[in-house]
A = this chain, B = another copy of it.
Amino acid sequence: MRQSKLLTKTRKEGPKDEVSKNANLLIRAGFINKEMAGVYDYLPLGLRVMQKIENIIRDEMNKLGGLEMKTSIIQSKEVWEKSNRWSDELVDNWFKTKLKNGTEVGLSFTNEEAYANILKQYISSYKDLPVYPYDFKSIFRNEARSKSGMLRGREFYWKAMYSFSKDENEHDEFYEKSKIAYKNIFDRVGIGHLTYLTFASGGTFSKFSHEFQAVTPAGEDTIYFDEKKKIAVNREVYNDEVLKSLGLEKNKLVELKSIEVGNIFSLGTKFSEPFDLKYKNEKSEDKFVVMGSYGIGLGRLMGTVVEILSDEKGMIWPVSIAPFKVHLVELISENIKVKETAEKLYNELAKAGIEVLYDDRNARAGEKFNDSDLIGIPIRIVVSEKGLEKGEFEIKQRMDGKVLSLKENEIINFVEKYK
């Protein structure tokens, strides 16, 4: 698309009250707008990134056998009272509101109750299990403070899958598969090399839950990481007994700051009991369904990618989730051939199915290069008078800063192969 029609513009400074690097860069580059602390709008560039992240997660969930649905944001009090999570004394980050007739309702802050309540209608026999429904939806958490930009929102966009299995064995088997799917997701969005499976506190039904922690100084979490085994332990369960049970040695662990980008949790019958979510097994005996939960915050993941993949000039998007693959920058010239060549190349790239942002604005070269570095599209192609004289185009890779020169007929092939 043409940058002159993009709607947004870059800005030199983020909002004064925005202390996080991720939100500052995203706001300055025009990816998001800050509605208030912890509440952001996705502008066209930001939504393109989010939709790509969503499609990667959807693909991995579908490969796991997931069934996508979309549950409501407004939630009934009666449903949440069953699991004893309605009371503000027990769950302190609810947003609640009222219908005209005075009925109290809540804004969805997680999905165990909604799913257990819906699935109760449909599960009666062992033949109905296992099932793996999931949602992408906006989630609301009334955080007292929200200073980490996209890392901790009051309103955020989220994927949650729940597993409904016949027994612990069936659950465990799926739980292990979900770890691989999660690893694939973090690899595909470009932070797999810094994201580690981390043991965290479990609950009544399992000794541990598992987090995926992405290492960055911006993280609010602390993990203890074994470089060789590529696993970590969250601070909350970092003690001698746990380390021993995991075969880890204290002196081989490094303390690191990190962001929890994913969480998987064995729920046992914690929710199926209060919702009376039972099935008849092959002997016609009543059994409780065994549940698990598998969450990822998409906005937080986007913010984490920005924290990890950025430099002093701006963001550095991996091809897989970049808003565009190519930033075509036309350096304004009196020689009409420059614009003609840029327009021609823009059309050829589009025709080849390549996503291109074409900087057709009447602006100085320095401004264009600064904006390009800030926005962080993987491949920058410069069309300039100097280049035209040599019959060459300057190609700059944002990831490693490498510059090369290509002839016009070499460009499409280079871009298509670039990953």
> Does A74 contact B155, Cβ atoms closer than 8 Å?
yes
Q: Specify which chain B residues have a CB less than 8 angstroms from the CB of A337 in the assembled complex.
A: none
Number of copies: 2
> Does A100 contact B143, Cβ atoms closer than 8 Å?
yes
Instruction: Give the contacting residue for A8; candidates B50, B101, B105, B122; CB below 8 A.
Output: B122
Q: Which of A113-121, A170-178, A228-236, A403-411 contacts B (4 or more CB under 8 A)?
A: A113-121
Q: Specify which chain B residues have a CB less than 8 angstroms from the CB of A142 in the assembled complex.
A: 99-100
Q: Specify which chain B residues have a CB less than 8 angstroms from the CB of A30 in the assembled complex.
A: 122
* Interface residue? A127 (CB, 8 A): yes
A103 CB to closest chain B CB (Å) equals 8
Alpha-carbon gap, A230 to B7, bound state (A): 37
Q: Which of A195-233 contact B (CB under 8 A)?
A: none
* Interface residue? A64 (CB, 8 A): no
Residue of chain B at shortest CB distance from A94: B97
> Does B122 contact A9, Cβ atoms closer than 8 Å?
yes
> Does A41 contact B114, Cβ atoms closer than 8 Å?
yes
Residue of chain B at shortest CB distance from A143: B100
Q: Which of A1-47 contact B (CB under 8 A)?
A: 4-9, 30, 33, 35-36, 39-44, 46-47
Alpha-carbon gap, A114 to B143, bound state (A): 22
* Interface residue? A341 (CB, 8 A): no
Alpha-carbon gap, A127 to B2, bound state (A): 13
Q: Specify which chain B residues have a CB less than 8 angstroms from the CB of A33 in the assembled complex.
A: 118, 121
Q: Specify which chain B residues have a CB less than 8 angstroms from the CB of A110 in the assembled complex.
A: none
Instruction: Give the contacting residue for A76; candidates B35, B75, B97; CB below 8 A.
Output: B35
* Interface residue? A70 (CB, 8 A): yes
Q: Which of A350-367 contact B (CB under 8 A)?
A: none
Q: Specify which chain B residues have a CB less than 8 angstroms from the CB of A144 in the assembled complex.
A: 100-101
* Interface residue? A397 (CB, 8 A): no
Q: Specify which chain B residues have a CB less than 8 angstroms from the CB of A4 in the assembled complex.
A: 127
Residue of chain B at shortest CB distance from A33: B118
> Does A107 contact B97, Cβ atoms closer than 8 Å?
yes
Residue count of chain A within 8 Å CB distance of chain B:
54
> Does A35 contact B72, Cβ atoms closer than 8 Å?
yes
A361 CB to closest chain B CB (Å) equals 9
A369 CB to closest chain B CB (Å) equals 21
Alpha-carbon gap, A101 to B7, bound state (A): 34
Residue of chain B at shortest CB distance from A4: B127
> Does A72 contact B40, Cβ atoms closer than 8 Å?
yes
Q: Specify which chain B residues have a CB less than 8 angstroms from the CB of A47 in the assembled complex.
A: 68-70
A139 CB to closest chain B CB (Å) equals 10
Beyond the given A7-B131, A41-B118, A44-B68, could you list 20 further A-B residue pairs with CB under 8 A, ordered by the A residue number?
Answer: A5-B131, A7-B133, A9-B122, A33-B118, A36-B76, A39-B74, A40-B72, A41-B72, A41-B114, A42-B71, A43-B69, A44-B67, A44-B133, A47-B69, A72-B155, A73-B73, A95-B97, A97-B107, A100-B144, A101-B144
A residues adjacent to B (C-beta < 8 A): 4-9, 30, 33, 35-36, 39-44, 46-47, 50, 65, 67-76, 95-97, 99-101, 105, 107, 114, 118-119, 121-122, 127, 131, 133, 138, 140, 142-144, 154-155, 157
List, sorted by A's number, 24 A–B pairs whose CB atoms are closer than 8 Å: A4-B127, A5-B67, A7-B119, A7-B131, A7-B133, A8-B122, A33-B118, A35-B71, A35-B72, A35-B74, A35-B75, A41-B71, A41-B72, A41-B114, A41-B118, A42-B70, A43-B69, A43-B118, A47-B69, A47-B70, A73-B73, A73-B140, A97-B97, A107-B107
